[in-house]
Amino acid sequence: MSLFNARHFVPSLLAFATAGFISSTASALVFGGNFFVPGLNRIIATNVVQNMSSANLPALPVRVTLCTGAVEAPAFVVTGPTTAVLAGSCYRMSITIASPDQTRLLITHTGAPGGISRVELGGFAQKVVFDRRNPNPGTGFSGTGRDVAVLGGAGPWTVNARWTSPIQIGTMPARGDVYNKLTFDFNMCFVSNNSLYVEFDTDEVQ
């Protein structure tokens, strides 16, 4: 899939956010909450660290399910030490690492034909993983976690955050705070004029 030129994409996205379009006050969107799903663990040999940069974001698997059932797999393009963007057939995403335990993701619909029903991050052997708030203390060196919180957006749907595939270090049992995959499920199509701005915590597998 061809990606929009990141040089032109970033200013337009910043202008979009500055215009206040993602304000939750004008939206009917509902956050259905965080759901932590036990299941097949991802077993790693070393450890997890809290600090991360944007360098590993291009290797973070992204799967976007369209309302037609088709699936796209765009890749993030690094735009700075803590930022990256991607573009699909009818959507754009911008990710910013705001602090060691704050990663922000903005999803916007471009107005092109089509809509999305699901966004999946991770799920394979990538370095970027997702750290929830509890249990605390959890996995060693993972630091403070953060459950998904909605910062803003617009749309008539409910969105849920689903955490799957707990991280297990060696033969030690998984602590249930760090997960290999984070999925956003929309109960109605995410379409033109829709946006979602969320915050969570990303760590790195060493």
pLDDT tens digits, residue range 25-83?
Answer: 446 899 999 999 988 999 999 899 888 889 999 999 999 999 999 999 999 999 999 99
Tell me what the mean pLDDT of segment 167-193 comes to. 94
Residue 15 vs residue 202, higher pLDDT? 202
How far is 103 from 113, CA to CA, in rounded Å? Answer: 29
Say what the pLDDT of residue 44 is.
Answer: 93
Say what the pLDDT of residue 94 is.
Answer: 98
Region of poorest pLDDT, from 9-23, 89-103, 152-166, 181-195? 9-23
Tell me what the mean pLDDT of segment 161-180 comes to. 92
Say what the pLDDT of residue 135 is.
Answer: 82
The beta strands (E) that lie in the chain are given as 30-37, 42-44, 48-49, 62-66, 71-72, 77-80, 83-87, 91-99, 102-109, 116-122, 128-131, 149-154, 158-169, 178-190, 195-200, 202-205
pTM of the model: 0.86
Q: DSSP per residue over 77-117, as a string?
A: EEEETTEEEEE-SSEEEEEEEEETTEEEEEEEE-SSS--EE
Percentage of residues of the chain with pLDDT beyond 70: 86
